[in-house]
Amino acid sequence: MLGEGLIEKIIRTPFDSVASLQEEVKKIIHAIRQTTIVDVMPLQDRVWKFMENASQYSSIRSAFKQRISLEVKNQRRADVERRYTLELKSEAIKARDSSIAEAELSKVLSRETELRKELELLVTQRGKLENSISLHEEKLPQLQAAVSRIKEEISKIEATPTLETSDMPNFKSYESY
């Protein structure tokens, strides 16, 4: 029979959702109009009225669902205000921590600048010392050669026989000749 599936569907559909079946009902009423001589207008009017009531019920129910009791409203407000207070405190803590971090960063940057200047001085000193070492290393072979010559002179002098005081009278006698 025509519409039996729809009747089952309407029975199983919650009242506030019946309006969603409107297109299917239109198709069935149209089919009834074409197949019978019976006037479907009274049926159609009753079905549309039923659908309209279901739609209104759904709207009213939805509007009432959004309403809450004063107690629930106050509780929700208190919960939100607590979260708000906690977030404000958290924000203040983060702002304070950020300020502290910025101050520390400023100190670190200042110290870094000092250390860079000190490093530049040390690099300059290193350069001077390296130049000094280089000059000393250039002069060192000359000085070593001079020391070596002086050592040879000392060795020659030490190897030279010395006159003893006892040899002096003999030497004077030779001088007179």
Residue-wise DSSP of 89-143 = HHHHHHHHHHHHHHHHHHHHHHHHHHHHHHHHHHHHHHHHHHHHHHHHHHHHHHH
- What are residue 13's phi and psi, to 5 degrees? -80, 130
Say how many C-beta atoms besides its own lie within 10 A of residue 135's C-beta: 10
| Residue length of the chain | 177
Please tell me the predicted confidence (pLDDT) of residue 123: 97
Share of residues in the chain with pLDDT > 70 (%): 87
Cα–Cα distance, 63 to 82 (Å, whole number):
28
State the first-to-last Cα distance of the chain, in angstroms, to the nearest integer: 175
- Say yes or no to pLDDT of 37 above 90: no
**Maximum CA extent, the chain:** 185
Which residues contact residue 1 at a Cβ distance below 8 angstroms, ignoring those fewer than 6 apart?
none
- Say yes or no to pLDDT of 7 above 80: no
Which pair of tokens denotes residue 149? 């010559």
Whole-prediction pTM: 0.38
Share of residues in the chain with pLDDT > 90 (%): 45
- Say yes or no to pLDDT of 119 above 80: yes
- Say yes or no to pLDDT of 170 above 70: no
Confidence bin at 3 (pLDDT 50/70/90):
low
